[in-house]
Copies of this chain bind each other. A is one copy, B any other.
């Protein structure tokens, strides 16, 4: 699949019609081997593509994404399709009455919604292996996980099925699957892309984000959703996150960070190591806050239909039945205090923070732990603890693949003093330098 800028040039020049593009996308999705497709909306997509092809022929463009096929994580409402959230509990969900806000914005920009994509059940996990339809498989190695919870969005883009997919990110869920599948992901600040019509995981952190082949594509898509276009940040202070928290379990992931740091230094940015005081304590508040909020949402189903959850989901919900309110209040207070202190510390030292997206690359499906030279390590925290700090601090992040041998590796570019626009500009320059 062409990156979005090139695809849009082809669609705009008439070299490629919306109909040809959407037919191609639908054919790829029908042949998919990853399990990323949950519901295809083929008839409506072809119909819309035909309208857009006709209007393009009259020289009329609906918007900046005229004719671009897009897939939607099945946690997000698309009018006329069920929102099943990867769960047997919603196997018989009725068609959604209305588009979620982000879907409406995409349609208004001329995008063609082709269907719903795999999610880790109720978005409650960074793995992508837990869903009513089974695991989503990594296009780079079908025996391995995609990461989650926007598993299908990452797999569909990585497999070349789609130029753009919508995901959500509560603690990891855009960036971790982007990293494990080798695509780019944008986690904006919470609320920057509107969240109406998205099934909640944890309201303190739920964020709508985007996945695409590269940062240049993310920049085009973000601008089409009413966000800022990419901006040149000028020479910035790049901080490389230092300390044990950020040390990956696979050396190749540290290599990826170093590669990015060298490329950024070559682009005349100042690069230095920065520490992140309190990050472990900050990250420890995440499961407490998220668990309480998720349990409150699921309580009634959990009481009456527990067997219909996937086992892993039921096990994650269970401890939150009895968790006391004052512990949740404590976690919220600690989060606020530690996040403010960390952001203030970082602002004094860096405009952009660079760190690995995950501590492991894609692991075998079904493995809760994996062996490393330093001993067995748990998969789930390795896919969450390096991403959740930026939900806790609510900083914008672009997750970017960095070329390494073998399975994909990803880094995060975190906007400390810069916003999405500068971050997307910097990420675009970095990926050009890395090519």
A323–B292 Cα gap in the complex (Å)?
Answer: 12
Chain A interface, number of residues (Cβ within 8 angstroms): 19
Looking at chain A's contact residues, the main secondary structure is helix
Q: Which of A304-340 contact B (CB under 8 A)?
A: 320-330, 333
B-contact 0/1 string along A118-158, CB 8 Å cutoff: 00000000000000000000000000000000000000000
Q: Is the CB of A324 within 8 A of B326?
A: no
Q: Is the CB of B324 within 8 A of A323?
A: yes
The residues of B that contact A269 with a CB separation of less than 8 Å are: none
A295–B327 Cα gap in the complex (Å)?
Answer: 10
Pick the contact of A325 from B203, B295, B333 — CB < 8 Å? B295
A329 (CB) vs chain B CBs: closest residue: B296
Q: Is the CB of B324 within 8 A of A322?
A: yes
**Is A347 an interface residue when CB atoms closer than 8 A count as contact?**
no
A199 to chain B, nearest CB (A): 14
A220–B203 Cα gap in the complex (Å)?
Answer: 41
A324–B325 Cα gap in the complex (Å)?
Answer: 5
Q: Is the CB of B326 within 8 A of A295?
A: yes
Of A323, A325, A328, most B-chain CB atoms within 10 Å: A325
A323 to chain B, nearest CB (A): 4
A326 (CB) vs chain B CBs: closest residue: B296
The residues of B that contact A320 with a CB separation of less than 8 Å are: 325-326
Q: Is the CB of A292 within 8 A of B329?
A: yes
A321–B322 Cα gap in the complex (Å)?
Answer: 12
Q: How many copies of the shown chain assemble into the complex?
A: 2
A127–B249 Cα gap in the complex (Å)?
Answer: 59
A334 to chain B, nearest CB (A): 11
A295 (CB) vs chain B CBs: closest residue: B326
A195 to chain B, nearest CB (A): 14
Q: Is the CB of B326 within 8 A of A299?
A: yes
Pick the contact of A329 from B293, B322, B326, B327 — CB < 8 Å? B293
A191 to chain B, nearest CB (A): 14
The residues of B that contact A299 with a CB separation of less than 8 Å are: 326
The residues of B that contact A325 with a CB separation of less than 8 Å are: 291-292, 295-296, 320, 323-325, 327-328
The residues of B that contact A295 with a CB separation of less than 8 Å are: 325-326, 329
Q: Which of A239-298 contact B (CB under 8 A)?
A: 291-293, 295-296
Of A295, A328, A329, most B-chain CB atoms within 10 Å: A329
B-contact 0/1 string along A81-112, CB 8 Å cutoff: 00000000000000000000000000000000
The residues of B that contact A328 with a CB separation of less than 8 Å are: 292, 325, 328-329
A83 to chain B, nearest CB (A): 20
A293–B293 Cα gap in the complex (Å)?
Answer: 16
A51–B251 Cα gap in the complex (Å)?
Answer: 69
Q: Is the CB of B326 within 8 A of A292?
A: yes
A273 to chain B, nearest CB (A): 34
A325–B292 Cα gap in the complex (Å)?
Answer: 6
A318–B295 Cα gap in the complex (Å)?
Answer: 24
- 9 CB < 8 A contacts A-B: A203-B333, A292-B325, A293-B329, A295-B325, A295-B326, A299-B326, A323-B325, A324-B325, A328-B328
Known: A292-B329, A296-B333, A323-B326. 4 other contacts (CB 8 A): A320-B325, A321-B326, A324-B324, A325-B325
Q: Which residues of A pack against B, CB within 8 Å?
A: 203, 291-293, 295-296, 299, 320-330, 333
The 8 residue pairs across chains A and B that have the minimum distance between CB atoms: A292-B325, A296-B329, A325-B328, A296-B326, A323-B325, A295-B326, A325-B325, A292-B329
